[in-house]
Amino acid sequence: MSNHLVQYICGIADNSLILGQRLGELCGHGPSLETDIALTNISLDLFGQVRSYFQYAAELQGDQSSEDTFAFLRKEREYRNVLLVEQPNTDFAYIIGRQFLFDVYHQLFLEKLQSSSDQTLAAIAKKSLKEVTYHVRFSSDWVIRLGDGTEESHNRMSAAIEDLWIFTEELFSCTELEKEMSNSALGVDVSLLREAYLNRVHAVLNEATIAIPDVKYFQKGGKQGIHSEHMGYILTEMQYMQRTFPNMTW
């Protein structure tokens, strides 16, 4: 069970790790100073959560592993983040759309993870939820602001939601590991989050005057380690220093 729990924790952390890395690419490139700082702070929030998860995973593993081992020394197929968070920073609308679609899920997930029978996981979830509640408010406000703004901003926000929607179903697709963790009261049955997710997302999109995408087929695979073409580039940049100068210290 301990090894399975480590894998489960890494899967949770990988979503925040990869999305945090994507947001980190934007530092200094935001459309305004205030927004740039806000996105950077969200990135730092996510990395802080990742550290808590990976430190706990290293403790459970009980070998020479550390938070850096999990973050920087795994191969691409060993990461279990959903495909949504690795999508590129196409433009500001895509950045906000990706953030919003993940934030709503993340908030619902943490609300349930607070009830985990594992006290450490429950504590991490409780602390993280305070940060993610702000993330949801930030991204929701921007979706509405862009969607119900000018013709240009509306078209861009609509296009982003339309393109990113195909990655949302994976959020609620339970792997065998997730089922095991849920059945043992350690984790969350993500399939049960779908209805609440759709209700919250639809409410924001309706206010943003954005039509709900009509999608019949969805992209999946990230939870099984099968990623998009973007993932390799993300890891190349993220892991460069650790792999070039192993065990480096500052």
pLDDT tens figures, 67-80: 999 999 999 999 99
What's the chain's length in residues?
250
Instruction: Go through the domains of the chain in sequence order and give each one's CATH number.
Output: 2-244 (1.20.1260.10)
User: How many CB atoms neighbour CB 191 within 10 A?
Assistant: 14
* Residue pLDDT, tens place only, 130-160: 999 999 999 999 999 999 999 999 999 999 9
* Residue pLDDT, tens place only, 164-187: 999 999 999 999 999 999 999 999
User: Considering the entire predicted model, what is its pTM?
Assistant: 0.95
- Tell me the DSSP string of 63-104: SS--HHHHHHSS-GGG----GGGGS---SHHHHHHHHHHHHH
